[in-house]
Amino acid sequence: MNDNEDSVSADVNPVAPRVRRATLDALIVDDKLIADRADNTVFRKYLAEPDLELVVIVEDPWQLPGSTLFQDELKLIHLPSGNALSSDFFTKGDETLFPFPITVPKDFIESLGEGVHTFGYEVEHGHGDFSDSLPLTLIFDRKAPYDQTPPKKMADIAPVTDANKDKVVIELPDYADFKPKDKVGVWWLDASVTEIPEDLDPHIAVEVTSRPQNIPVSKAVIDDAGDGGIAVVYVLIDKAGNRSNFSFPTYVGVALGALPANLKAPVVPQAAKGRIIKDDAFAGVIVQVLAFDNWKPKDELRVIWGNQPASEWRAMSDTGTFPVEFTLSKEVLYADYGVDGTGEKDTVVTYELRRGTVPQGTMDTTVKVNLERFGPVDPVDPEPEVPDPENQYLEKVTITSASGEDNHLTDPDDEFEDATLTLVINATLQAKDVLTFYWGGALIAGLEHEVQVGEPGTTITKTVSWDDVIKPGRNGNVPVHYRVERPSNPNPIRSLDTNVLVEAVGVYPVQPEFLGVVQSGGLTLLTCQSIYEDDDDTDPAVRVQVDDLTQYGLVVTDKITMHWSAVHGDGEDGSNDPVDGALYEPVITLDETNINGFVWRIPFETYVKQVYTPAQPEGRGRVKISFTVGGKPRESAVREVFVVMHNGIGSCPLRPKP
């Protein structure tokens, strides 16, 4: 305690004249709270962060009362306002409480502005006197460089290669609110990084000593980041710990190692036929980049078609597979050619190569392109960005059946009958335009039609052959369309489909085939040899091969019926007496194991053995298949075979079963 009698602070809420003052030692602050002892700047975090406190300390006690009848009051004072911020009481024996910490209220700190703030304490003694401390001056600084705005970006940086990576220098620009002991932290990052992790330390951290200031970038930092588009960003941190926002980025390209060489012109395979046409555009035009030297997996390519960027930048990847192929969209081709373009145009096709963001060269080739269109257009929007592959403004065909229904061929009225195709030739077509017609996607041969003078706007008719077109096309919803070719234009146009419901083609299942038959005397026989599949077979049966059933329109879960029967005699006398007990007609549900064909087994001892009797030793076996498809019953023809199930003495001898 200091016994100086001079007072250094004004009265705080004085209530009576003060006769005498003693001057107490100033408050002290722990070093960990102070950023700079030269001026007592407080670290920002103790001012701004809710869980950290600004604590001032009364280091030594004053002369405390000698009796418990008295107590002294200690008040923390903010000067020069004289505001009392806290109050504590002490009496005899409280010397052990010192050094005595006092927390400056956070809400009071928040009410104060930036700059110099002075704190002291006042003791009102129990006997009526007052003592004041010497002042403690602190500097509050919670304002970061650039305040709330991002710092200016670094100056531009030349592309970095092996030739200059040991000489890379970045320039920190001048800024108005510089203060001594400011620091700068710099990050050298892939430009694709959108947010810097909080735990990622800056790659460079130095004190700001001049403005502007050149800062070298080490080779280690450059090599660690590698090739790429690099973003250089920085923050400024003042001595109080105030950190600026991240700066605006400065972008720099980095291309390390041996640089790509021996580039070759791109190849457009579809142009080999002479030109790119509409069908190519809708299929997707391919551009190939051929092999070059010194490539890296992260080297990037992109294609330019005419004046249109045709692809995004794409990495080579680790495969090193050449050629690298790009498939260009029809939108790109039409954007360059123009939907109203005419004739054949020379188009320059270019690819660009870069490592990081550093250009490594371009190569190009020229191809011929003709996307000229003809035919009717939308009267409201005659020039869309990309014309439809199917021209909805061409008239559609009508298919009329022999029974007079449009676009519907029925069973049995139209079976075996030709149909009639009717079409109004669009008024925009010209003489010598050629129409070709398609049934279910297949060209209808012989139905080509060359438009004659005066025909546009009139109706033509054609015959659609039952044998050549309708029957081979089978039943179902059959799309029918036509194409128009113009001799002077390589881009045919296509009508919309007319869906024709064909139900006229009868379904005639193929007869099942007997397996294991024996040829003898010009006859096909089922004999005792036929009832076993091989030497290991002990389950006697007549075996029948059933064909693939999907060809009839059957699907899994559909049902079929197999039919086996037998009659006595050889048929020479016209006899067809059924064999008692030989009829076998099981219903079989189709599944994945049998729908594509299967072998049906007719148990010998149950349904075949009885064909033999001593009085009538031979007979004939018959098999067929039936089912319903499309709501209509279908049945195959009967397959018949001679059945000779005896060995000259009696019924076929059977192998013992295990």
Tokens of 297: 């997996």
Residue 14 counted as domain residue: no
Which phi and psi angles does 361 have, rounded to 5°? 120, 165
Read off the amino acid at residue 375.
G
Q: How far is CA 186 from CA 166, 208, 216, 229, in A?
A: 18, 12, 11, 16
CATH number of the domain within which 204 lies? 2.60.40
Is the omega angle on the peptide bond into residue 412 within 30 degrees of 0, that is, cis? yes
- Of the three residues 140, 170, 186, the one that is the final residue of a domain is 140
577: DSSP letter: P
Buried b (16+ CB within 10 A) or exposed e, 195-214: eeeeeeebbbeeebeeeeee
Confidence of residue 262 (pLDDT cuts 50, 70, 90): very high
Kindly state the average pLDDT of the residues 560-584.
88
Share of the chain above pLDDT 70, in %: 96
Do 452 and 550 belong together in one domain? no
Do 130 and 166 belong together in one domain? no
Q: In angstroms, rounded to a whole number, what is the distance separating the alpha carbons of residues 105 and 102?
A: 9
Do 518 and 496 belong together in one domain? no
Kindly state the average pLDDT of the residues 381-402.
91
Do 480 and 522 belong together in one domain? no
- For 137, the 3-state DSSP assignment is strand
Residue 13 counted as domain residue: no
Residue of 387 and 47 predicted with greater confidence: 47
Mean pLDDT for the chain overall: 92
Residue-wise pLDDT for 488-516, tens only, equals 999 999 999 999 999 998 888 999 999 99
Residue 481 counted as domain residue: yes
CA dihedral of residues 11, 15, 19, 24 (deg, nearest 10)? -40
pLDDT at 632: 84
Residue-wise pLDDT for 163-173, tens only, equals 999 999 999 99
Do 528 and 636 belong together in one domain? yes
Residue 145 counted as domain residue: no
pLDDT at 14: 45
- Of the three residues 439, 467, 502, the one that is the final residue of a domain is 502
Q: In angstroms, rounded to a whole number, what is the distance separating the alpha carbons of residues 422 and 497?
A: 14
Q: In angstroms, rounded to a whole number, what is the distance separating the alpha carbons of residues 379 and 396?
A: 18
Do 556 and 606 belong together in one domain? yes
Confidence of residue 11 (pLDDT cuts 50, 70, 90): very low
Do 28 and 130 belong together in one domain? yes
Residue 263 counted as domain residue: no
Do 30 and 68 belong together in one domain? yes
**Helices marked H in 536-610:** 604-607
Residue 95 counted as domain residue: yes
- Of the three residues 436, 467, 502, the one that is the final residue of a domain is 502
Read off the amino acid at residue 547.
D
Share of the chain above pLDDT 90, in %: 83
Residue 220 clears pLDDT 50, i.e. is over it: yes
Q: In angstroms, rounded to a whole number, what is the distance separating the alpha carbons of residues 553 and 486?
A: 39
Q: DSSP assignment of 287-311, as one string?
A: EEE---BS--TT-EEEEEETTEE-S
Residue of 473 and 369 predicted with greater confidence: 369
Is the omega angle on the peptide bond into residue 99 within 30 degrees of 0, that is, cis? yes
- For 335, the 3-state DSSP assignment is helix
Residues in the chain: 658
Instruction: Give the range of the structural domain holding residue 607, as residue numbers without chain letter.
Output: 513-644
Do 164 and 133 belong together in one domain? no
Residue 611's nearest CA partner among 570, 655, 657 is 570
Kindly state the average pLDDT of the residues 550-565.
94
Asked whether the beta carbons of 205 and 227 are under 8 A apart, the reply is no
Number of folded domains that form the chain = 5
pLDDT at 648: 85
pLDDT at 10: 39
- Vertex 350: Cα angle to 346 and 354 (nearest 5): 170
Residue 380 counted as domain residue: no
- For 262, the 3-state DSSP assignment is coil
Tokens of 537: 């077979």
Residue of 338 and 22 predicted with greater confidence: 338
Do 85 and 199 belong together in one domain? no
16: DSSP letter: S
Q: In angstroms, rounded to a whole number, what is the distance separating the alpha carbons of residues 172 and 222?
A: 18
CATH number of the domain within which 456 lies? 2.60.40.10
pLDDT at 1: 39
Do 41 and 72 belong together in one domain? yes
Residue 12 clears pLDDT 50, i.e. is over it: no
pLDDT at 8: 35
Residue 6 clears pLDDT 60, i.e. is over it: no
Do 454 and 552 belong together in one domain? no
Query: pTM of this prediction?
Result: 0.66
Longest dimension (CA), the chain: 158
